[in-house]
Structure 1
């Protein structure tokens, strides 16, 4: 029986694939930028496996994501920037530093105390990386994040320095305000730039509402996308069963099948 594979085995495989003499031509021509789309894709596939409660898929997707980390680390090592061991060292140091109540003698017990300490530590880390005059509260929020996730993170950061709503009532009022302004751009036949502006404000306000309700906005929308896909698949299947196809002429039938799909979901939740 063969021995279980280790991270060292994976590092050796990647080194072999990137060997200038005998490696894989495709792997050899890759760069950080060309691999980046695959890294993002694998992260989303991990999220999908979690959302579907598919543990077999999660095992495989975590492996694919780990491969991305190893790939980037290998290219960095070839460029004399850092190696995989440095990546591991950095995250170990960070986790110990951010958990003084576990690895030191800090007395942090409540969720509020833990969160405040986490944010203070992260702020100190950001300040250490940037000159004091540029190390603002919003510094370091990755621009490559999905827009909803980035909006939520920007809002949380602003909240740590007191720039936040006192209660969720104000957030509901803001959503209603932004919705009315969106309607006004339509009623006034405003140019697309104005509509884009107001829709952006509305989405930002909705993210703020999700945050105050304790709901990750990105996950909420991903879940809504999944519901829409399932329900529309039911609509298409129902139409096919009667020899029909989606289209404006069968709008009533589609609405009925949509309501049926929603009812089935509700029954499943109660069951």
Structure 2
């Protein structure tokens, strides 16, 4: 009975970075074979070990040895081996030469996006710009929120993938940086803003550490609302601007509710809905009106180029 060592490796790990068990099996084997050339085959040869490339593995199976599994998994041979093992004709030993690290499939995604943008890739993707892809980033973000609200794990998994696709596309289009720059900057920021994790800072002060790190990173910001996205819908923009002023301990000139009106937490939704209805009855677009009020009271510069939410309302107003 022959013994076949089924050597599995990850194509996402540099060839030659094999486990000690794998190298021992290769050095001790009387025969090493594979179907095709591969980086792993080349690395094994560079280590002074002969590797036979065969079209038909029958003779190898009869004699035994180490089989270097190809990147596609050598499915047909694996099925044949299972039958031989079940019939008691072959003893099979599975050795893992390397494993995919967590996040390894992200490398596949990077490669897939690069393929889309290659000269012989997808014409639609090659024609896109940061500006034309912008609305998709917003749309995918909302679809993730829909999946969260629906408490649907399968839907959330899919929508997170669609959202993850967007930064890869933008990074692939960029001329001054790539996805590694994006990821590297993010890792540095995460470490810098969590000294209680990557350091000996007191976790009780994590909020202070976070704000101090942000202030050090953005010394040019001198307005409480600097850094708040002006593309936010006006209601989210208003809430964020108020929060930033409160964080800075500065007073924002906010309008008072009409005398006698007190809004309880349970009634806020109805109150806002009534305000929207009142705005429409007055012939005013509530989105633009609230944005204008926030901008003026917070002393922000008006947007020169409206975002998607603003442009939609402007188009609607022009059409009417």
Give the alignment's TM-score, normalised by structure 1.
0.57
Q: For residue 298 of structure 2, what is the aligned residue in structure 1?
A: none
Q: 1:191 to 1:42 in 2, by over 3 A?
A: closer
Q: Following superposition of structure 1 onto structure 2, how do residues 11-160 of structure 1 map, counting pairs within 5 Å?
A: 11-20=110-119, 22-76=120-174, 79=175, 81-109=176-204, 113-127=205-219, 130=220, 135-160=222-247
1:206-252 per-position Cα deviation (integer Å, ceiling 9, x unaligned):
xxxxxxxxxxxxxxxxxxxxxxxxxxxxxxxxxxxxxxxxxxxxxxx
Q: 1:144 to 1:177 in 2, by over 3 A?
A: farther
1:130-163 per-position Cα deviation (integer Å, ceiling 9, x unaligned):
3xxx532221211112222222221111112213
Count, aligned residues: 179
Q: 1:16 to 1:155 in 2, by over 3 A?
A: same
Q: For residue 230 of structure 1, what is the aligned residue in structure 2?
A: none
Q: Distance in 2 between matches of 1:198 and 1:38?
A: 23
Q: Distance in 2 between matches of 1:178 and 1:196?
A: 23
What is the deviation of 1:124?
Answer: 2.3
Q: Distance in 2 between matches of 1:178 and 1:24?
A: 62
Asked whether the 8 Å contact 2:235–2:290 carries over to 1, the reply is no
Q: For residue 161 of structure 1, what is the aligned residue in structure 2?
A: 248
Asked whether the 8 Å contact 2:171–2:179 carries over to 1, the reply is yes
Could you list the runs of 5+ residues in structure 1 that have no partner in the other structure? 166-170, 205-271
Q: Following superposition of structure 1 onto structure 2, how do residues 118-267 of structure 1 map, counting pairs within 5 Å?
A: 118-127=210-219, 130=220, 135-163=222-250, 174-176=256-258, 200=290
By relative contact order (CA 8 Å, sep 6+), the higher-ranking structure is 2
Q: 1:23 to 1:143 in 2, by over 3 A?
A: same
Q: 1:16 to 1:199 in 2, by over 3 A?
A: closer
Higher helix share: 1
Asked whether the 8 Å contact 1:126–1:139 carries over to 2, the reply is no
Higher strand share: 2
Q: 1:6 to 1:191 in 2, by over 3 A?
A: closer
Asked whether the 8 Å contact 1:14–1:70 carries over to 2, the reply is yes
What is the deviation of 1:42?
Answer: 0.5
The structure with the larger Rg is 2
Give the alignment's TM-score, normalised by structure 2.
0.48
Q: Distance in 2 between matches of 1:30 and 1:178?
A: 54
What is the deviation of 1:176?
Answer: 4.2
Q: For residue 231 of structure 1, what is the aligned residue in structure 2?
A: none
What is the deviation of 1:118?
Answer: 1.7
Q: Distance in 2 between matches of 1:158 and 1:152?
A: 10
CA RMSD of aligned residues (A): 3.7
Which one is further off, 115-124 or 32-41? 115-124
Q: 1:192 to 1:177 in 2, by over 3 A?
A: farther
Q: 1:45 to 1:191 in 2, by over 3 A?
A: closer
